[in-house]
Amino acid sequence: MTIDLTHDPAVTELAARTAAFVDAVVAPEELRLGGVATDGGEALRVRLQEAAREAGVFAPHVAKEYGGQGLDMRGRAVVFEEAGRSLLGPLALNIAAPDEGNMHLLEAVATEEQKERYLRPLAAGSVRSSFSMTEPAPGAGSDPAALATTATPTSGGWLVNGRKWFITGADGAAYTICMARTSGRPGDRGGATMFLIDADTPGMRIVRHIDTLDQGFFGGHCEIELDDVFVSEASVLGAVDEGFAYAQVRLAPARLTHCMRWLGIARRSQEIAVARARERELFGSRLGDLGMVQAMIADSEIDIAASRLLIWQACTELDDGRSAAQSSSIAKTFVAEAVGRVVDRSLQICGALGVSGDILLSRYYREVRPFRIYDGSSETHRWAIAKRRLREGAAPAVTEEKRTVHA
Ligand SMILES: Cc1cc2nc3c(=O)[nH]c(=O)nc-3n(C[C@H](O)[C@H](O)[C@H](O)COP(=O)(O)OP(=O)(O)OC[C@H]3O[C@@H](n4cnc5c(N)ncnc54)[C@H](O)[C@@H]3O)c2cc1C
């Protein structure tokens, strides 16, 4: 496979404008808030998005007819990486999870009426959304087939019952895209349907905000109860019982866009560490002149470069209309772990300053750790990567007979 390492000049220009916008407008807000966007409230989100619109960098991923710039996955890779250099950058550009993944899904699957009602305001930043798949044990987690939330037919629609948790951004979202079982039983590989459920629908309520290591996602991570929630036929997203197939439409691109954004944070962490290594004097030399520090800086450069190329490879496959199942699993596993390593090394290079709240590294450290769990844990992906590889053909193993002949 050929991977084109060059970009359309318009994409390069947009990436440069995004970098300048993040440095001038977003990074100062991030520092002021210690990286916790929710602390700035809805007013901050609106202000940052207005500034992004003025700078011409807003919603680069959305189709032009919905006010975006229609970037393909390769274009997103370079622009999202620049936006991701600040925890607040994706929020400003309206490319933060889960909204960005939901826009992608709605563009691919929703009816024209649903696009007008749900996609258009989301793309404009007038509303936020959430995606409700995961359930407390024994429900859906790494194994989506364990889906236990049900939707049963009733007059004019469906009644949804169940419990979801870790639903990012649910507090303040205008609606959620909810996976519920419409046929079969937990453990079955099919039988799921996606529903668009407005936040004010009777029977759906946020039970609690889950206290987590990370705090950077707007609207937090919520536990949600669904108790006889009535939704009409018009709320079905796509076809009944096809929810798992649509989840795949969302998952491969969404896990890659997470990689792009977190790669931005890895770069920023390395920038902070390099600046410190240049300035700090100890043992009669600069920190950056000490070999073990140079090794950490070099290893982080290698992790960043390798991450970028794995992302671009999977993006190229998606842009070419291929599934990218294997390449996106490989990218997700590697990038989630590489980003963690880069932030960890950067923090180490900065010493006590690194773990303090005076700079943002300790916040980044907390924010990147959960990425090894969501969008498929490293273990789930490794398991899937190995299974796909084992299904491929292989050269026959050396037989006992051949070994005897050679002896
Ligand atoms: C910060 C955060 C935000 C999230 N946001 C959302 C959201 O917006 N919407 C949503 O629906 N969900 C969300 N999730 C949930 C996320 O998708 C799940 O946490 C993830 O799918 C794993 O499921 P689980 O937590 O139930 O872990 P489990 O399924 O219980 O897995 C636990 C562990 O088992 C191991 N494991 C898994 N598979 C294998 C395997 N094949 N072989 C060996 N070991 C394995 C892994 O180490 C894994 O971490 C979020 C999670 C986090 C942490």
pLDDT, tens digit (0-9, with 9 covering 90-100), for 95-109: 999 999 999 999 999
Question: Which residue, judged by its Cα, is nearest atom 11 of ligand 1?
Answer: 133
- Quote the Cα angle for 259-260-264, to 5°: 110
Please tell me the predicted confidence (pLDDT) of residue 335: 98
Closest protein CA for atom 17 of ligand 1: 374
Residue 197: beta bridge partners? Answer: 176
| 285 confidence band (pLDDT: 50, 70, 90) | very high
- Which helix (H) or strand (E) segment holds residue 372: the answer is none
Q: Calculate the average pLDDT of the chain.
A: 95
Q: Are 332 and 377 in contact (CB under 8 A)?
A: no
Span 50-60, pLDDT tens digits: 999 999 999 99
pTM for the whole thing?
A: 0.95
Sorting pLDDT into bands at 50, 70 and 90, what band is 251? confident
Q: Vertex 72, ends 66 and 73: CA angle to 5°?
A: 125
pLDDT in tens, 344-387: 999 999 999 999 999 999 999 999 999 999 999 999 999 999 99
Domain ranges of the chain: 9-124, 129-241, 244-391
DSSP code of residue 144: G
Count of other CB atoms within 10 angstroms of residue 402: 11
Question: What is the C-alpha separation between 290 and 380, in angstroms, rounded?
Answer: 39
Grade residue 398 by pLDDT with cuts at 50, 70 and 90.
Answer: low
Nearest residue CA, atom 47 of ligand 1?
A: 379
208 vs 210: CA distance, rounded Å: 6
As separate numbers, helices (DSSP H) first and strands (DSSP E) second, the chain gives 15, 10
Residue of the nearest CA to atom 48 in ligand 1?
377
Ligand 1 centroid – CA 213 distance (Å): 15
**What one-letter code names the amino acid at 166?**
F
- What letter does residue 397 receive in the DSSP assignment? P
Average pLDDT over residues 279-291: 96
Q: Ligand 1 pocket by C-beta < 6 Å: which residues? A: 98, 130-134, 141-142, 166-168, 212, 214, 221, 370, 373-374, 377, 379-380, 383
CA 383 to ligand 1: nearest atom = 41
Q: Which two tokens stand for residue 336?
A: 């989630």
Q: What are φ and ψ of residue 41, in 5° steps?
A: 70, 180
Name the residue of 87, 105, 134, 178 whose CB sits within 8 Å of the most ligand 1 atoms, as the mutation to test its pocket.
Answer: 134
pLDDT at 407: 44
The CATH number of the structural domain formed by 129-241 is 2.40.110.10
| Fold match between domain 9-124 and domain 129-241 | no
Q: Which ranges of 281-360 does DSSP label H, i.e. alpha helix?
A: 291-319, 325-349, 352-355
The token duo for 258 is 């997470």
Q: Which residues pair with 345 in a beta bridge?
A: none
Which protein residue has the closest C-alpha to ligand 1 atom 44? 379
Which residues are bridge partners to 157 per DSSP? 154, 232
253, 318 Cβ separation under 8 angstroms: yes
**227 CA → ligand 1 middle, Å:** 24
Ligand 1 atom closest to 133 (CA)? 11
pLDDT tens string 150-189: 999 999 999 999 999 999 999 999 999 999 999 999 999 8
User: Which CATH fold would you assign to the domain 244-391?
Assistant: Butyryl-CoA Dehydrogenase, subunit A; domain 3 (1.20.140)
Residue nearest to atom 52 of ligand 1 (CA): 374
> Per-residue pLDDT tens for 172-231?
999 999 999 999 999 998 999 999 999 999 999 999 999 999 998 998 999 999 999 999
Query: Looking at ligand 1, which residue's alpha carbon is closest to its atom 40?
Result: 380
What is the structure's pLDDT at 402? 57
The pLDDT value recorded for residue 50 is 98
Q: What is the pLDDT of residue 76?
A: 97
CATH class of 9-124: mainly alpha
* DSSP category for residue 117: I
